[in-house]
Structure 1
Amino acid sequence: MSCDEAMLIRKLFRFENAHIVRGCSTRRCSHSIHGHSYKIELLLEAHSLDHGQMVYDFGLLKGGAFTLIDAFDHAVTLWTGDDPAYLAAMRQHSERWVLIPVSPSAEQFSRLFFLLVDAVLATTALRNGEGDVRLHSVIVHETETGYAQCFREDAENPRMGRIDLESIVFAPAITAQWSDPALFERLKRARAD
């Protein structure tokens, strides 16, 4: 290992979510709403340790990062490009939904969560001597046998579809349960600056 390589740490989150992935080759997935037990791995990296001799205190992820990932639990994720009648029906009949600008595939979820968590990390006050800690990658396990991993280059790659925080909408029933209802608005403002 050279001195240039960073140490990695991993934090795992879980949630249950439903979606339709339009345009995929499997008819069951592209024409029927279905759900998955997702596992989200956040991998953080740094070249130095904080005063507690850690890359990053996992407790700091219990705020914004957990809140945003948990927003997808027991929700249906909707793609803005889907049929307007379907979108309206799902929003009418489901209290928990999230509207996103890309299809809710594991690949796009990994990009979406990368951008969300990266925004949280950028706005988190570091007070314990944390060094150059940053998000290394996000892995989204959609099934026990398949996952997608997103790196910074993927998250920001316009050829994979543009994801702006402004284009993500959380159902009012979701944001009403947040301990900090202004969390997402604050992240959007910080990202725009």
Structure 2
Amino acid sequence: MLIRKLFKFESAHIVRGCSSRLCSRSLHGHSYKIEVLLEAHALDNGQMVYDFGLLKGDVRDLIDAFDHAVTFWDGDDADYIASCQRFSERWISLPVSPSAEQFSRVIFCLVDGLLQLTEMVNGEQDVRLHSVIAHETDTGYAQCFREDAYNPRMVAFELGQIVFAERIRQEWGDPQLFQRLLDGHARRNPQQV
């Protein structure tokens, strides 16, 4: 069975190397919709695949980090990167271009990492991330599956190459959230009542 949780954020980027001059040469923004799809072949104590409320903590914080942020590729022009960091307190440096395709991969890897480090205590069984869909516009989206997320032919990267601005990290419920993920520190889900 699949369940879907929808997240939304506003973000700006430039996508270098694409065919559209508007997108490759001009900073512009989108109203993103991110769909996180989880799957399991059994239900938990509440007869759910996974309690939607459990996605309102760390997962939401990491996805919300992109809200009102400038997202740039760390291989972009150094002056452009410096300007993004100078004029916006909310920025994210990615080791890949911030295209819809790469947004779906990056978010897949972030959420997948969190789920793998989550101690399930509500009878959840074999819950895993099925896919992430990144809607960049009303008519266009990219969907990342596990085989895409870790495919080096789609540009290999490590989570440790992502850099979140200090302001973003301060706004998380746990300012050490990303470091905890990188260090592989597990977190226990709250029990259902």
Aligned counterpart in structure 2 of residue 43 of structure 1, from 37, 40, 45: 37
Q: How many angstroms does 1:124 deviate by?
A: 1.6
Correspondence 1:14 to 2:8: yes
SS in 2 for 1:176: helix
Correspondence 1:61 to 2:50: no
**C-alpha distance in structure 1 between counterparts of 2:8 and 2:157, whole Å:** 22
Q: How many angstroms does 1:26 deviate by?
A: 0.2
* Cα deviation digits, residues 75-129 of structure 1 (max 9, x gap): 0001001001110111011110000000000000000000000011111221100
Aligned residue runs from structure 1 range 142-157, under 5 A: 142-157=136-151
Correspondence 1:71 to 2:61: no
Aligned counterpart in structure 1 of residue 171 of structure 2, from 172, 177, 186: 177
**C-alpha distance in structure 2 between counterparts of 1:100 and 1:167, whole Å:** 7
SS in 2 for 1:30: helix
Q: TM-score, normalised by structure 2?
A: 0.95
Report the counterpart of residue 3 of structure 1 in structure 2: none
Report the counterpart of residue 101 of structure 1 in structure 2: 95
Q: How many angstroms does 1:21 deviate by?
A: 0.1
Q: How many angstroms does 1:189 deviate by?
A: 1.1
Q: For 1:21, give the aligned amino acid.
A: V
Correspondence 1:85 to 2:91: no
Over aligned residue pairs, what C-alpha RMSD do you find? 0.8
Q: TM-score, normalised by structure 1?
A: 0.95
Q: For 1:155, give the aligned amino acid.
A: A
**C-alpha distance in structure 2 between counterparts of 1:120 and 1:62, whole Å:** 13
**C-alpha distance in structure 2 between counterparts of 1:119 and 1:63, whole Å:** 14
SS in 2 for 1:90: helix
**C-alpha distance in structure 1 between counterparts of 2:158 and 2:56, whole Å:** 23
Q: How many angstroms does 1:180 deviate by?
A: 0.3
List runs of 5+ in structure 2 lacking aligned partners.
186-193
Correspondence 1:125 to 2:119: yes
Q: How many angstroms does 1:163 deviate by?
A: 2.1
Q: For 1:149, give the aligned amino acid.
A: Q
Q: How many angstroms does 1:37 deviate by?
A: 0.1
List runs of 5+ in structure 1 lacking aligned partners.
1-6
Report the counterpart of residue 187 of structure 1 in structure 2: 181
Correspondence 1:110 to 2:104: yes
Comparing 119-128 with 108-117, greater Cα deviation is found at 119-128
Report the counterpart of residue 164 of structure 1 in structure 2: 158
